[in-house]
Amino acid sequence: MAEVPPNLPHPNQPGEPAPGPISAAAGNPETAAADQAAGGTTVDPAIAARATAPALEMRAISKRFPGVVANDHIDLSIRPGEIHALLGENGAGKSTLMNILYGLLSPDEGEILLDGAVVEISSPSDAIARGIGMVHQHFKLVPVFSVAENIVLGNETMANAVFLDVRRSEGRIRALSQQLGFEIDPEAMVGDLSVGIQQRIEILKALYRGAKVLILDEPTAVLTPQETSEIFLVLRRLAGEGTSIVFISHKLNEVLEIADRITVIRRGRVVGQADPKTATEESLAEMMVGREVSLVVDKGPASPGEAVLTVEDLTVADDRGSIVVAGASFGVRAGEIFGLAGVAGNGQEELVEAINGLRKVTSGRVVLGGHDVTNDSSRSLSERGVAYIPGDRQRFGLVLPYPIEDNLVLTEYYHAPFSRFGVINERAISKRASELISQYDIRTPSGGLPASTLSGGNQQKVIVAREFSRDLVLLVADQPTRGIDVGSIEFIHRQIVAKRDAGIAVLLVSAELDEVLELSDRIGIMYRGQLVAILDASTAEKETIGLIMATGRAEVPA
């Protein structure tokens, strides 16, 4: 792997300022005053360093698990009232570091300092008591409890030794939320509330306990664009009042938008720091991945043929019964890659499930090669040559306790040569398995081992091997490279392009806009359950697409 380029800034050491212009932390009165006292934006580095002593510091933190070094001498320094982004790929070690900070894990080496004093954080209660609050990626809220009950849990306001003081809790919650600029009904049941509001409840939970350092783990992963802007406002307000915020993410554009400083982690080590004012998505990506990342794959022009998949005015409901796909229409032609872009939660999952026969279509049509296949079973679609790579591969794509061999025939076991008259032919299965294992370079000592013994990338290769080795007319790939190491990502991308070049229609769904841009020939953008735009990938501009994803239209109304 490439070395850290020598000209990137080193991780902060106390008292040593980063090179380049010193920018005042947003809204921090101390530095602003220091700036003005010094007569402008150029400040004596020593004065600036004293004024911005870290609220939180992690020094040389190391943590090892069997077979992997999750954190390797990591240094992190957060100033009061700063929004500090922790950037890194999946598996880089961000969550481990934060779990250490929050007392869920203990470091093998290194120390943690709060306001300059060394502390030992032994448990989440300890962390909370010291003013560290965490908002997890998967919310820790009890759906059948009220907002108030969730917020006070573990830190209850008591009327006496035994009973809760419900009214006082609710009063405090109302006051706290108003301070942050939004209203909340403490009696509402959390399970009924939207994801964006639930996240605010999680933040309130931390603040209710007097958090001065707030850690947010991938907070925007589940939010709509609207909710993302709203939460950013809340975060700025919090920072303005002196709360330090650690913002963990792998989303480059958001990190550039919200952070005051950025620390980049790769494979357990701090790669360097970045200044959002000067960094670009490319420079951040390069730091994250460690070499020049060509965000463009080597691919020739498409020569699309007939329409293979046509979706006409499709309406689909989610598990609760609400309509999440509201009249989507588009088509995918043979020999082209149609990328479906959009913020998660705009109906893409349900649309893809409906196309593949795993969810009922309320109204509209799905046409495959001239045949109406609306609401056909997934098996009959599979027999027509449709392959589906599911987004949640461990839940839908594999049976982990089963041998790899069985997983490789999971969608084809029921016909010859793998079975005849209902009886399974084990030798045929083994034969096919060893062919596919060598063809797709699946790293395993034996095909008879359970699929759970494979790494994430190899598990995805099993699914790809299984689906790609059939005669296909349509390939539906949902988040094909989520959580996979970069080497495997390129492999899978190349496979997808190869299928396109072989004349197969490809429908690509991905939450990573860059992946969509890189691979697609045409891009459709989903917003609130509809295809609001279909663009030619070669001429589309990323900003336009982002705008449409966020707002549903190409121009901001005047």
Partner 1 sequence: MTESANPGAAGLNVDATTLLGGGSLGRQAIVTGIAIVLGLLIGAVLIVLSGVIGPAQSFDPTLPIAGYAALLEGALGGPKAIANTLNSATPLIFTGLSVAFGFRAGLFNIGANGQLLVGGFCAAIVGTSVALPFPLAAIVAILAGGLGGALWGFIPGALKAWRGAHEVVTTIMLNSIAFLLLNLLASSIFKDQGATFPRTPDVLPGSVLPIILVNTRLHAGILIALATTFVVWFLLFKTTLGFEIRTVGANASAARYAGMRPAFITILTMSLAGALAGLGGTVEILGITKNYPAEYIVNFGFDGIAVALLGRAHPFGVVGAALLFGVMRAGAGAMQRATDIPVDIISIVQAVILLFVAAQIIIQQLLPAARPKGPVEPSAAAA
Partner 2 sequence: MTAATSSVAVLRRDARLVWIGVAIGLIVLALAALLLDVPYLGSFVDWLINRVPPLSYLIVQYAVPIAFGALCGVMCERSGVTNIGIEGMILTSAFVAFLTGAYLHTVVGAPLAAIIGIGTAIVAAMLLSTLHAWLSITIKADQIISGTVINILALGGTAFFNQLLVSTTRLSGTNTLPRLDVPNELAAVPFIGPIIDALLNQGPIAMSLIVLVVFLQIMLFRSRWGLRTRAVGEHPKAADTVGIDVVRTRYRSVILGGVFAGLAGAYLTLEQFNSFQDNMTGGVGFIGLAAMIFGRWTPLGAYGAAILFGAVQSMQLAVRISPPEGDLGGIISAIPPQVFGMLPYVFTIIVLAGVVGRAVPPAADGIPYDKEARG
User: How far apart are alpha carbons 409 and 472 in whole angstroms?
Assistant: 16
Residue 128 in the binding site for partner 2 (CB under 8 A): yes
315 DSSP β-pair partners: 326, 363
Stretch that binds partner 1, among 87-95, 124-132, 207-215, 505-513 (CB under 8 A): 87-95
Nearer to partner 2, 156 or 312 (CB): 156
Nearer to partner 2, 156 or 275 (CB): 156
Residue 402 in the binding site for partner 1 (CB under 8 A): yes
CB of 128: closest distance to partner 2 in angstroms?
7
* Binding-site member from 81, 397, 403, 480 for partner 1 (CB under 8 A): 397
CB of 508: closest distance to partner 2 in angstroms?
27
Question: Collapsing DSSP states into helix, strand and coil, what is residue 423?
Answer: strand
Q: Which does 187 bind (CB under 5 to 8 A by kind): partner 1, partner 2, none?
A: partner 2
Structure tokens, 228 = 């993302």
Structure tokens, 389 = 């790579």
* Binding-site member from 9, 14, 143, 210 for partner 2 (CB under 8 A): 143
Structure tokens, 397 = 């794509």
Structure tokens, 91 = 């598996």
* Binding-site member from 31, 52, 150, 458 for partner 2 (CB under 8 A): 150
User: How far apart are alpha carbons 372 and 374 in whole angstroms?
Assistant: 6
Residue 94 in the binding site for partner 1 (CB under 8 A): yes
Stretch that binds partner 2, among 128-136, 349-357, 416-424, 515-523 (CB under 8 A): 128-136
Q: Which does 470 bind (CB under 5 to 8 A by kind): partner 2, partner 1, none?
A: none
User: How far apart are alpha carbons 87 and 247 in whole angstroms?
Assistant: 8
Taking alpha carbons only, the member of 21, 9, 8 closest to residue 77 is 9
Q: How many CA atoms lie within 13 A of 344 on its CB side?
A: 13
Q: Which does 149 bind (CB under 5 to 8 A by kind): partner 2, partner 1, none?
A: partner 2
Residue 62 in the binding site for partner 1 (CB under 8 A): no
Residue 538 in the binding site for partner 1 (CB under 8 A): no
* Binding-site member from 106, 120, 140, 538 for partner 2 (CB under 8 A): 140
Nearer to partner 2, 155 or 378 (CB): 155
Nearer to partner 2, 77 or 99 (CB): 99
Under rule CB under 8 A, how many of the chain's residues touch partner 2? 38
* Binding-site member from 155, 253, 283, 378 for partner 1 (CB under 8 A): 378
State the angle between helix axes of 486-501 and 456-468 in degrees (0 to 180), rounded to the nearest 10: 10
CA distances from 112 to 65, 273, 315, 385, 502 (A): 20, 19, 53, 56, 56
Residue 217 in the binding site for partner 2 (CB under 8 A): no
Q: Which does 167 bind (CB under 5 to 8 A by kind): partner 2, partner 1, none?
A: none
Residue 138 in the binding site for partner 2 (CB under 8 A): yes
Tokens 């306990």 — which residue? Answer: 209
User: How far apart are alpha carbons 163 and 32 in whole angstroms?
Assistant: 47
CB of 191: closest distance to partner 2 in angstroms?
8
> Restricting to residues 277-336, which ones interact with partner 1 according to CB under 8 A?
none
CA distances from 552 to 71, 163, 174, 524, 534 (A): 41, 50, 33, 12, 12
Question: Collapsing DSSP states into helix, strand and coil, what is residue 260?
Answer: coil
Pairs from 501-504 (Cβ < 8 Å, separation ≥ 24): 501/300, 501/335, 503/305, 503/334, 503/335, 504/334, 504/335, 504/472, 504/473, 504/474, 504/475
Stretch that binds partner 1, among 5-13, 293-301, 389-397, 521-529 (CB under 8 A): 389-397
Residue 328 in the binding site for partner 2 (CB under 8 A): no
CB of 426: closest distance to partner 1 in angstroms?
8
Stretch that binds partner 1, among 146-154, 188-196, 293-301, 408-416 (CB under 8 A): 408-416
The binding track of 88-127 with respect to partner 2, each residue x by CB under 8 A or -, is: ----------------x------------------xxx--
CA distances from 312 to 56, 237, 242, 325, 368 (A): 55, 45, 52, 12, 11
Cβ neighbors of 167 (< 8 A, separation 6 or more) are: none
User: How far apart are alpha carbons 553 and 558 in whole angstroms?
Assistant: 12
Cβ neighbors of 498 (< 8 A, separation 6 or more) are: none
Nearer to partner 1, 43 or 271 (CB): 271
Stretch that binds partner 2, among 137-145, 323-331, 375-383, 414-422 (CB under 8 A): 137-145
Structure tokens, 214 = 């707030």
Helices (H), 384-455: 404-408, 426-439
Interface residues with partner 1 (CB under 8 A) are 63, 65-68, 70-71, 90-91, 93-96, 358, 377-379, 382, 388, 390, 392, 394-402, 406, 410-411, 413-414, 419, 422-424, 443-445, 449, 452-456
Interface residues with partner 2 (CB under 8 A) are 104, 123-125, 128, 134, 136, 138, 140-145, 147, 149-150, 153-156, 158, 162-164, 181-185, 187-189, 192-193, 197, 205, 230
